[in-house]
Amino acid sequence: MPGSIEPLLPHLPAFLMVFFRLGGIFFMAPLFASAVVPIKVRVLLALVLTFCVYPVIPAQTPIALSMATIALAVGTELIIGLAIGFGASLPLIAMQVAGVLMGHQLGLGLARVISPDFDEQTEVLSQLLYMVALIIFLLLDGHHALLSTLVQSFDHIPLGGFMPDGGILAMAVGLLTSMFELAIRVSAPLLCIIFLETVALGFIARTVPQLNILSLGFPLRIVLGFLLLTAAVFFQFDALGEEIEHALGSLMRFFG
């Protein structure tokens, strides 16, 4: 019958699974999952991306889904998209953690702003580092690598063929370890300088008790902190670039 949708019905289960795998990055990946973008727009973008990707994925064996198996199939496909998006976002989260550590030491813990990406309050320095990290992520074509990994995952993991095992847990632990390592690498120089400044002011307070250490210490701490951040900015974001490439490479090797 002209205009009948019956020829399309056999494609519906596979199309639905592709949609949820691709849609996972719109809930977890940097930029794609930004709270600035309304949920309806993200769902529409995932649907448009599915229409673009579905015709070019490798031929799949016919999938027959029932009400009992559709939730499991959709859930496993969603896990793939969420895992890829979460792994790509970890280097940027590391910069946020570093910003929190440094902000507390500089006395900026009470200075908070609304983060548009997460729709919650965060510290000024943490938000600054995150936004610069997001720019570096885009300059390194991280968004293209993210989409490429997701599309190539259909070659490596057929629809309905993903079985979570120890491999994905080991990769997640490795990426989390690298995230905390990056946060410490970025914040460690400032933490050491602040520690030395605190020790020096302690000696000054003992030798010159007439000096008001509190009125001197806080401005000095902030000035030293921002001078160090300015001097080390290239080294910090060079380490960030390496970590972004490492995270995307790990995701590509595992899923793509």
- Residue-wise pLDDT tens digits, 62-82: 566 666 677 777 888 888 888
Neighbours of 102 (CB within 10 A): 26
- Residue-wise pLDDT tens digits, 181-197: 888 888 888 888 888 88
Question: Whole-prediction pTM value?
Answer: 0.82
Helices within the chain (DSSP H only): 12-23, 25-28, 39-53, 70-105, 124-139, 142-156, 166-207, 213-255
Q: What residue ranges do the domains of the chain occupy?
A: 6-255
pLDDT at 66: 65
More confident residue, 122 or 144: 144
- Residue-wise pLDDT tens digits, 100-115: 888 888 877 666 666 6
- Residue-wise pLDDT tens digits, 197-244: 888 887 887 777 777 776 777 778 888 888 888 887 788 888 888 888
Distance CA 165, CA 160 (A): 15
Distance CA 31, CA 87 (A): 13
Task: Report whether 129 contacts 94 (CB < 8 A).
Answer: no
More confident residue, 246 or 8: 246
